[in-house]
Structure 1
Amino acid sequence: MRSVRHFFRNIIVPGAFRIPKEVSVNGSIDATISGRIDGNVKGNVKTTGKLVVSETASIRGHIYASDLVVHGKVYGDVYISNKAHISNQAFVKGDVNAIVLELEEGAVVEGAIRKNVQPVPKTETPPVADHHHQVVGEAIPAPAAPAANQEEEEQTTSWF
Structure 2
Amino acid sequence: MFSKTRVTEPGPRTQPTPEPTEAPRSFDTTYDVPASPAAPRTRTAPSVMSSDLTVTGNIKTQGDIQIEGTVEGDIRAHQLIVGESATIRGEIVAEEVVVNGRVIGRVRGLKVRLTATARVEGDIIHKTIAIESGAHFEGSVQRQEDPLANGPTPKLAPPVATKSPEAE
1:139 paired residue among 141, 153, 158: 158
Match of 1:25 in 2: 55
Partners of 1:141 and 1:73 in 2: CA distance: 33
Q: Which stretches in structure 2 are left out of the alignment for 5+ residues?
A: 1-42, 162-168
Partners of 2:159 and 2:63 in 1: CA distance: 39
Secondary structure in 2 matching 1:32: coil
Q: How does 1:10-89 map to 2 (within 5 A)?
A: 14-47=44-77, 49-81=78-110, 83-89=111-117
Partners of 2:133 and 2:113 in 1: CA distance: 12
The amino acid across from 1:60 in the alignment is R
Deviations, residues 108-129 of structure 1 (Å, cap 9, x unaligned) = 1110011116346699xxxxxx
Partners of 1:33 and 1:140 in 2: CA distance: 41
The amino acid across from 2:79 in the alignment is K
CA contact (8 A) 2:95 2:148 kept: no
Partners of 2:68 and 2:62 in 1: CA distance: 19
> After alignment, is 104-113 or 114-123 more displaced?
114-123
Partners of 2:97 and 2:62 in 1: CA distance: 14
Match of 1:91 in 2: 119
Q: What number of residue pairs does the alignment pair up?
A: 121
Distance 1:85 1:93, change over 3 A: same
The amino acid across from 1:92 in the alignment is V
- The CA RMSD over aligned residues, in Å, is 2.7
Deviation at 1:15?
3.5
Deviations, residues 84-123 of structure 1 (Å, cap 9, x unaligned) = 1101111000001111101001111110011116346699
Is residue 107 from structure 1 mapped to residue 135 from structure 2 by the alignment? yes
Partners of 2:89 and 2:151 in 1: CA distance: 13
The amino acid across from 2:53 in the alignment is V
